[in-house]
Amino acid sequence: MRALADSAQAPFSLPDEVLQALRRRFGARCSTALAQRELHGRDESPFDVAPPDAVVFAESNEEVAFVLQLAQQHRVPVIPYGTGTSLEGHLLAVQGGISLDLSRMKSILQLHSEDLTVTVQAGVTRQQLNQEIRHSGLFFPIDPGADASLGGMAATRASGTNAVRYGTMRENVLGLTVLTASGEQIRTGSRARKSSAGYDLTRLFVGSEGTLGVITELTLRLYPLPEAVSAAICFFPSIDAAVQTTIAIIQMGIPIARCELLDAHAVRAVNAHDHLGLRESPMLLMEFHGSAASVAEQAQSVQALAAEQGGEAFEWASTPEARTRLWTARHHAYLSALQTRPGCRCVTTDTCVPISRLAESINESVREVEATDLPYFIVGHVGDGNFHMGYLIDPQQPAERELAERLSAQMVARALRLGGTCTGEHGIGLHKQGFLLDEAGPGAVALMRSIKAALDPAQIMNPGKIFAS
Amino acid sequence: MRALADSAQAPFSLPDEVLQALRRRFGARCSTALAQRELHGRDESPFDVAPPDAVVFAESNEEVAFVLQLAQQHRVPVIPYGTGTSLEGHLLAVQGGISLDLSRMKSILQLHSEDLTVTVQAGVTRQQLNQEIRHSGLFFPIDPGADASLGGMAATRASGTNAVRYGTMRENVLGLTVLTASGEQIRTGSRARKSSAGYDLTRLFVGSEGTLGVITELTLRLYPLPEAVSAAICFFPSIDAAVQTTIAIIQMGIPIARCELLDAHAVRAVNAHDHLGLRESPMLLMEFHGSAASVAEQAQSVQALAAEQGGEAFEWASTPEARTRLWTARHHAYLSALQTRPGCRCVTTDTCVPISRLAESINESVREVEATDLPYFIVGHVGDGNFHMGYLIDPQQPAERELAERLSAQMVARALRLGGTCTGEHGIGLHKQGFLLDEAGPGAVALMRSIKAALDPAQIMNPGKIFAS
């Protein structure tokens, strides 16, 4: 992390002309206060803060265009900002510039419940969306854990717990309003469910991490709230047994809606934090959506598969309250784990492999970390072959950080050998640029760079991310 | 179509050096015979043939790279060719050049049944794939009607009958091997189900219609063959009643696998062709996949919804043979319709709208064509909001072609007004370049062009398609 710390110290500053223009247009919504800048120069990663030179709170497409045109003219970096919950250093202003905060663009613009679509501004968070559309009987399923903004979720191609059934942001964004690097407003996609009209600009901007333009509006697919929902937890004698159960569920094509793994460390942490009294062994947390009959049938099939692997102590929850209690374990895992080691920070990994290689991938990673003294925990969207290992490091101990990075590099190398990816859902940011090169190869990365150069010739959009500048 | 006919006449020819080099490398697999060139200079559209200067049958990535490098050096157009079944003029050599036929690259490279993935060469057709993986208990669901090559299906972002449940090529391609315009081999995507590793090159090449590079290999998602499959036809008093039933099915979230509309003209045509004895009124052809209980439940719900709209004479088919009989109606609709007017050609439309606007979209289109004497038929993947109207024109009567084009333009304009797209699954090709501009707007099209310029600076990849040169 030394290079990053260095660049965070580098003396950036906005041209005075730019700052004056921002102040004239935005007044108090343009801030250079250190506290604001530091808040906007970090994310949930363990990287040191790299504050932008100014923070601007935009409230309309026109304001976003204004900032981009000004930045373009003066070659100033612009970093789109949602809720600050990304995990790979995406928001750090490693070359200074303007943090363009979109959190005030939080209107739901058009709900078309009869078409199962909604158009929202980029600052709307997923919880706000589901709250506001509750009356329609519809919901938006993508749940990355954090109450992230939908613009940010699109920018990092987020997924999370429901992806095994409903897909990721890739599958659930129908269209976008984007302000290009030059400040031109374009629209990608229509409200139709499918289209073959030209290049797939929607999917190009989904996952582009703010490096190609600013997403300001999104048209999303919604789903009818299932007639019946049932959640269950089940405990296993080993991680391997839990993973083998998952593999069988996926291979049989059971349309499970959520299939989450917590290892014993994660369960212990949430027990301590929330007094849940769960058995401290590897656990699958599952959810089934559908008609009452279909949910019952899925649950029965899964229980049989789990039993073959020694899964037991099934606990079922069909009421919303009972489900919330079970899901508390999953949703609090990260924060609870952080509290098991006061003052620690978490280095989180994010590999995703073909489902048949998941056991090998997790077992080897466990073996490697167990050979050290580093505290860790595992949570995983295992139905997708995606899991996170969190290494709890003391930020004052460079050796611990190096160890975590070495273990993480070994995990990624293994995932790539097994046909997987270096990141299932967190993105590249600052942290995985080398891994991207390993995974995609120099030819594909060169092609990505040529797209970046074509769409952002002045290199103002979140520079230094995805590719080293 | 005059402009096209003109360009088809234009005197193109390959530099002698290029032809010699191709002959040295490919021998008899390089052809300049008029019959081959004409075969490769047309598709299923009513456009006049525009033959390439030479046809090359490639058998490996290295051979594709050789052709591209040669073409790059001499600024010669290259048009990737699969089975010739596209519908918007994609394959016409409007600027001459080389038709690069990939139909001999038809190996299944790696079947990972335990991961529900397969990697194939681009020339493998969908029927071949399903035949060869039958033993695994898995299938690839995308069915555009024609037995197209999977490379071609990716290039046009094809979908078809199963898309309402399983998605389109967009959702079902995990990764690609692509030879870029300069002949460099890259790999997009891994075998993981999801990834956030950099720009989504996979989705950029899916739907790029051969204008950015040559797809030579595809890694695809497979699905377990459903435990139970049941098909049904149901007849309605009006197209509107059939469409209203469809809308209700989708809005209720019933996971129907196929939901196809045939109007009375289409039913009449297949009756004449296949002696099916079906009632000649608007018909929905549906299919349900799942466990036996789930299929029964879906079928029951749908039957109730259909009854509310006057749907009757339900006919069920659960055995493969009985299903094949029902699906004959759908699969033969296009060819049967062509035979109702000897010597005719078909101008096919392909709009897709948000599901709630489908009735309005179809009803208005019917009203407009009924006000003329033009024979027509309607088939539709109505579960997606996608339908095709086929106008059966006499190619000797320019007035009929003009009328069909005018009706088609009115349909597209209406689809765009209703929030839809000018093409759900056929692509832009030569035919819809103006509509693309109407739909996406000049800013988004300029952005697409800048990507084209970045990836194919010499403009050799299928020039004149998607964008007018």
A219 and A233 inside one domain: no
- % of chain B residues with pLDDT over 90: 91
Question: 276-335 in B: which are within 8 Å (CB) of A?
Answer: 290-291, 293-294, 297
Q: Which of A319-328, B39-48, B222-231, B256-265 has the lowest mean pLDDT?
A: A319-328
- Say whether B116 and A198 touch across the interface (CB within 8 A): no
Nearest to A194 among B203, B208, B424 (CB): B424
Contact criterion met (CB < 8 Å) for A443 and B185: yes
* Least Cα separation, residue A275 to chain B (angstroms): 34
Q: For residue B361, tell me if it sits in a domain.
A: no
Can you give the pLDDT at residue B372?
97
**B253 and chain A: CB distance < 8 Å anywhere?**
yes
Average pLDDT over residues A331-346: 93
Residue B350 resides in a domain: no
Residues A256 and A166 in one domain: no
With beta carbons under 8 A apart, name residues in chain B contacting A450: 454-455
A118 and A64 share a domain? no
Measured CA to CA in angstroms, residue B264 lies from A277, A416, B287, B290, B377 at distances of 64, 54, 20, 30, 8
> In the predicted model, what is the mean pLDDT of residues B401-411?
97
Question: Is B100's pLDDT higher than 60?
Answer: yes
Structurally, how many domains does chain A consist of? 3
Q: In which residue are the tokens 């790696």 written?
A: B110
**pLDDT band for position A248 (cuts 50, 70, 90):** very high
Chain B residues closer than 8 Å to A205 by CB: none
Domain assignment present for residue B210? The answer is yes
* B92 and B117, same domain (yes or no): no
**Residue A325: its pLDDT value, please?**
84
pLDDT at B313: 83
Q: How many CB pairs under 8 A join A and B?
A: 289
Pick from A403-407, B67-71, B292-296: least confident: B292-296
Across the range B280-288, mean pLDDT stands at: 96
Q: What is the mean pLDDT of residues A322-348?
A: 91
Residues B159 and B93 in one domain: no
CB pair distance less than 8 Å for B117 and A453: no
Q: Are residues A129 and A169 in the same domain?
A: yes
CB interface of A with B, residues 442-461, below 8 Å: 443-445, 447-448, 450-455
ipTM for the predicted complex: 0.96
Read off the pLDDT band of B429 (50, 70, 90). Answer: very high
Which of A194, A205, A360, A433 is the mutation pick for testing B, counting most B CBs within 10 A?
Answer: A194
Q: Which of A157, A255, A297 sits opposite B196 (nearest CB)?
A: A157
Q: Are residues B329 and B232 in the same domain?
A: yes
Backbone angles phi, psi at A343, to 5 degrees: 85, -5
Report pLDDT digits (tens) over A395-439.
Answer: 999 999 999 999 999 999 999 999 999 999 999 999 999 999 999
Tokens 């992230």 belong to A148
Residue B189 burial (C-beta neighbours within 10 Å; 0-12, 13-18, 19+): buried
CATH number at residue B183: 3.30.465.10
From A170, A224, A294, residue closest to B294, measured CB to CB? A294
Distance from CA of B211 to the nearest CA of A (A): 10
Distance (Å) from the C-alpha of residue B216 to the closest C-alpha of chain A?
Answer: 15
Residue A347 placed within a domain: no
Mean pLDDT of chain A: 95
Q: What is the pLDDT of residue B5?
A: 40
Q: What is the C-alpha to C-alpha distance for residues A209 and A158, in angstroms, rounded to an integer?
A: 11
On whether any CB of chain B is under 8 Å from the CB of A207, the answer is yes
Asked if residue A162 is part of any domain, the answer here is yes
The reply to whether B219 and B263 lie within a common domain is no
Answer whether B184 sits within 8 Å of A443, measured CB to CB: yes
Are B209 and B294 within one domain?
no
| Interface residue of A109, A138, A168, A193 to substitute, partner B, most B CBs within 10 Å | A193
A196 touches chain B (CB under 8 A): yes
The one-character DSSP state at A90 is T
Contacts of A416 in chain B (CB under 8 A): 190
Distance CA B238, CA B241 (A): 5
- Position A199 scores a pLDDT of 98
The set of residues, in sequence order, having a beta carbon less than 8 Å from that of B238 and lying 6+ positions away, is: B282
Mean pLDDT along residues A14-34? 97
**Rounded distance between C-alpha atoms, residue A420 and residue A439, angstroms:** 9
CA closest to B443 among chain A residues: A186
Mutation to test the B interface, candidates A116, A180, A199, most B Cβ within 10 Å: A199
| Residue B298, SS3 per DSSP | helix
Nearest to B197 among A255, A356, A421 (CB): A421
Terminal CA-CA length for chain A? 16
Q: Alpha-carbon distance B400 to B392, whole Å?
A: 9
Two tokens at A72? 């373009």
* Per-residue pLDDT at B4 exceeds 60: no
Contact flag B195-A294 (C-beta cutoff 8 Å): no
| CA nearest neighbour of B69 among B107, B98, B30 | B98
Interface of B with A in 56-115 (CB under 8 A): 112, 114-115
* Integer Cα distance of B420 and B422 in angstroms: 7
C-alpha closest to that of B408 among B427, B385, B425, B431: B431
CB atoms A352 and B195 under 8 Å: yes
Q: Residue B204 and residue A208: Cβ atoms within 8 Å?
A: no
Identify the domain boundary among B59, B76, B101.
B101
Q: Which of A101, A133, A153 is where one domain is finished?
A: A101
Does residue A9 carry a pLDDT above 60?
no
Percentage of chain A with pLDDT > 70?
97
Among candidates B352, B348, B350, which has minimal Cα distance to B418? B352
Task: Please answer yes or no on whether B445 and A198 come within 8 Å at the CB atom.
Answer: yes
Give yes or no for B180 touching A (CB within 8 A). yes
Given a cut of 90, whether residue A326 has pLDDT beyond it is: no
Same domain, A117 and A218: yes
Nearest CA-CA distance, residue A149 and chain B, Å: 17
Same domain, B200 and B178: yes
Average pLDDT over residues A7-24: 80
Helices (H) and strands (E) in chain A, counts: 17, 19
Which CATH number is A74's domain given? 3.30.43.10
For residues A249 and B34, give the distance between their C-alpha atoms in angstroms, rounded to a whole number: 55
Residue of B nearest to A116 (CA): B251
Residue B6 confidence (pLDDT): 41
B268 pLDDT more than 70:
yes
Q: Establish if B130 belongs to a structural domain.
A: yes
**Helix axis angle, B398-417 relative to B433-455, nearest 10°?**
80
pLDDT at A1: 37
Partner residues linked to A176 by β-bridges: A188, A218
Domain end position, chosen among A338, A355, A375: A338
Contact A352 B193 (CB under 8 A): yes
In chain A, the residue whose alpha carbon lies closest to the alpha carbon of B451 is A451
Which of B187, B291, B355 lies closest to A444 in CB terms?
Answer: B187
Please list every residue in chain B whose beta carbon sits closer than 8 Å to the beta carbon of residue A208: 199
Residue of chain B nearest A226, judged by CA positions: B253
Q: A245, A140 in Cβ contact below 8 A?
A: no
Pick the residue with more confidence: B152 or B469?
Answer: B152
Q: Does B416 touch chain A (CB under 8 A)?
A: yes
Integer Cα distance of B21 and B17 in angstroms: 6
Confidence label for B47 from pLDDT (cuts 50, 70 and 90): confident
pLDDT mean over B159-181? 97
Q: Do B207 and A226 touch (CB under 8 A)?
A: no
What average pLDDT does this structure show over A354-379?
Answer: 97
Which residues of B are less than 8 Å from A137 in CB distance? none
- Chain A nearest-CA distance from B433, in A, is 9
Residues B53 and B90 in one domain: yes
Distance from CA of B396 to the nearest CA of A (A): 30
The answer, yes or no, to whether residue B8 has pLDDT greater than 70, is no
The pLDDT tens digits for B321-330 are 888 888 888 8
Please, are residues B389 and B329 in contact by the beta-carbon 8 Å criterion?
A: no
- The answer to whether residue B402 is domain-embedded is no
**Which range of residues forms the domain containing residue A204?**
108-223
Range in A8-17, A29-38, A109-118, A166-175 with the lowest mean pLDDT: A8-17
Tell me which chain B residues have a C-beta less than 8 angstroms from the C-beta of A116.
250-251, 355
Report yes or no on A366 lying in a domain: no
pLDDT band at A4 (very low <50, low <70, confident <90, very high): very low
Q: What is the pLDDT of residue B11?
A: 53
**Could you identify the residue written with the tokens 């049967």?**
B336
What CA–CA distance (Å, rounded) separates B81 from B99? Answer: 6
Mean pLDDT value of segment A204-208: 98
Partner residue facing B186 (CB), from A159, A207, A444: A444
**Contact between A355 and B114 using a beta-carbon 8 Å cutoff:** yes
